[in-house]
Amino acid sequence: MRKPAVFIALLGLIVIGPLAGPAQAYVDPGTGSFVFQALIGGALAAAVAVKVFWTKIVGVFSRKERSSTED
Amino acid sequence: MRLSSSFRDPHGFMFERDGILYRHVAEEHREHLTRLTESGLCERLFADGLLIPHVEADPALSPGAAAVLMPERVGFVSYPYEWSYSQLRDAALATLRIQALALEHGMSLRDATAYNVTFHRGLPTFLDTTSLEILPENRPWVAYRQFCQHFLAPLALMAYRDVRLGQLSRIHLDGVPLDLASGLLPARTAAKLGIAMHLRMHARSQRRHEKDAVWPDGPTPRGFSIKAFHGLIASLRRAVEALPEPAGASVWRAYYSESDHYTTEALGAKQQLVNGWIARCSPATVWDLGANTGRFAHLASQRGIATTAFDLDPFCVEESYREARSAGIESFLPLVMDLTNPSPGLGWANVERHTLQARGPADLVLALALVHHLSIGNNVPLPMVMEDLARLGRAAIVEFIPKDDPKVVQLLHGREDVFGGYTQDGFERAARSYFDLATREDLPGSGRALYLLERRSVRD
């Protein structure tokens, strides 16, 4: 699971552009920090999606395995 | 009176009245506080021991307040540069846990400085209730820079370079600059995804956009999804959890196990005397100065007395923190502190972060096997040592170790003996300038003596 997540994260870093948003923060969020999050955001979201998808797949198989053992 | 450290956030501040601490919640924060309560997040954070518990007080206590909260009082507010590696790591993970729970409840942290966390009842506890705001839509985490600078950067430096680099937090109060951290980290850390992304690439982005406005003119941004937010927090957590234990050796950890300077009889007698004198003083707070791994400090903590154990060795503090945390001891807080250069007043006007002395005095200080290190090891004359003890505690249990003791002989080895005043008479004379000598007991099988001292001004 780690390997595909890392691959997608790196791919996202390359293809997703800066997506800065307005910052009404009382501390300085730092422009570079904001832009960087926007840059990696797509990859991080993809990593979460892959993890959820993977957990579901594993869940399906483990359920099948369990039910076949019970049978 | 408003606290000197509470002035940056327009949403609220801390003030003290009649010895009780309160939090003023400004009108701007009303809807955020309501959401915190109504979403169930506040209750959840209280239940998990992550947020300092509070009750609502009369808003009339502070003019213009939307609400006034009365948080539970923290015995000793400690700072990140006084924490061991695991203490800083646990504080980082607590901050991320709060942020993850906040996201589940439609809220987020507006800042993530390490000063929002302190140790309370043995656990890292978030203090700044008004840091929690309603989650702004499609916006990256405003506190990301702070989290990386306050937590991830010093932790990575301690883990991969040298544990003593934790002291960088004392110079850089808004966290270790990421370009500095990236430059100091070993090249091999470039292969670690979390470090490469959140420190190195992040630092490069900061440098590249140094002069840019936060909200650049241009087309409407596509935003930052909630999935991305969850992914960011999970990625930061993995980066922290993947850090290795700091390497290094402690010269002090084996202090009691060596035992070449104590007979079993002397050590037993010392323990019994200290225990009895703690009971006799019945203090509410005890500071053990030069506590090593806290062997004697626990004589106080096991009575439920709020005990702070200071030592200059980060490995000793690390060990005692881990032991106390796994044993669930709430009344014990070990901290890194060099008594020859204790925590100074820092930040704006030198009053944002308090000196060690300003956080005292303790009802009782323990100075066991310490005075010879200060007087002979560091050339501090005995009267100055006693003056300092009188500043830090209302009473003191002090051990005097004579010059012919193996530990003092070791300290004097290869040095000119310029310590003519370092005698038992000299010690007692110095002590009498600030204290009444309540009791003196000689430790059997050694030339050492133990004193119970009561500060003059307390009785006069």
ipTM, two decimals, is 0.81
pLDDT at B222 over 90: no
* A chain contacts of residue B205, beta-carbon cutoff 8 Å: 32-33, 35-36, 39
Rg (CA), chain A: 18
pLDDT score recorded for residue B261: 63
Contact A38 B111 (CB under 8 A): no
pLDDT at A25 over 80: no
- Please indicate if any CB of chain B lies within 8 Å of the CB of A16: no
Q: How far is CA B386 from CA B30, B420, B428, B433, in A?
A: 50, 17, 10, 8
The two structure tokens encoding residue B275? 């225990």
- Please indicate if any CB of chain B lies within 8 Å of the CB of A38: yes
Phi, psi of B413 (to 5 degrees): -60, 125
The span from the CA of B302 to the CA of B332, in Å, is: 9
| End-to-end alpha carbon distance in chain B | 29
pLDDT score recorded for residue B5: 82
The span from the CA of B460 to the CA of B456, in Å, is: 6
Q: Which of A19, A22, A35 sits opposite B222 (nearest CB)?
A: A19
What b/e string do you get for B376-388 counting C-beta neighbours within 10 Å, with b at 16 or more?
A: bbeebebbebbeb
pLDDT at B446 over 90: no
Q: How far is CA B306 from CA B191, B228, B283, B367, B387, in A?
A: 44, 42, 9, 17, 24
Query: Residue A17 burial (CB < 10 Å; 0-12/13-18/19+)?
Result: exposed
> Which residues on neighbouring strands pair with residue B20, listed in sequence order?
B17
pLDDT score recorded for residue A68: 62
Q: What average pLDDT does the segment B417-425 reach? A: 92
* A chain contacts of residue B145, beta-carbon cutoff 8 Å: 28-30, 33
pLDDT range class, residue B7, cuts 50, 70, 90: confident
pLDDT at A17 over 60: no
User: Is the bond leading into B361 cis (omega within 30 degrees of zero)?
Assistant: yes
A65: distance to nearest CA of chain B, Å?
A: 30
* B chain contacts of residue A22, beta-carbon cutoff 8 Å: 139, 214-215
Chain A to chain B Cβ contacts (< 8 Å): 126
B197: distance to nearest CA of chain A, Å?
A: 9
User: Which chain B residues touch A if contact means CB-CB below 8 Å?
Assistant: 8-11, 110-111, 136, 138-146, 148, 193, 197, 201-202, 205-210, 212-216, 221-225, 227-228, 230-232, 234-235
pLDDT range class, residue B250, cuts 50, 70, 90: low
- Number of C-alpha atoms within 13 angstroms, CB side, residue A50? 16
Residue in the structure block whose two tokens are 């999970």: B234
The span from the CA of B160 to the CA of B148, in Å, is: 16
Q: What average pLDDT does the segment B402-411 reach? A: 92
Contact by Cβ (8 Å): B224, B140: yes
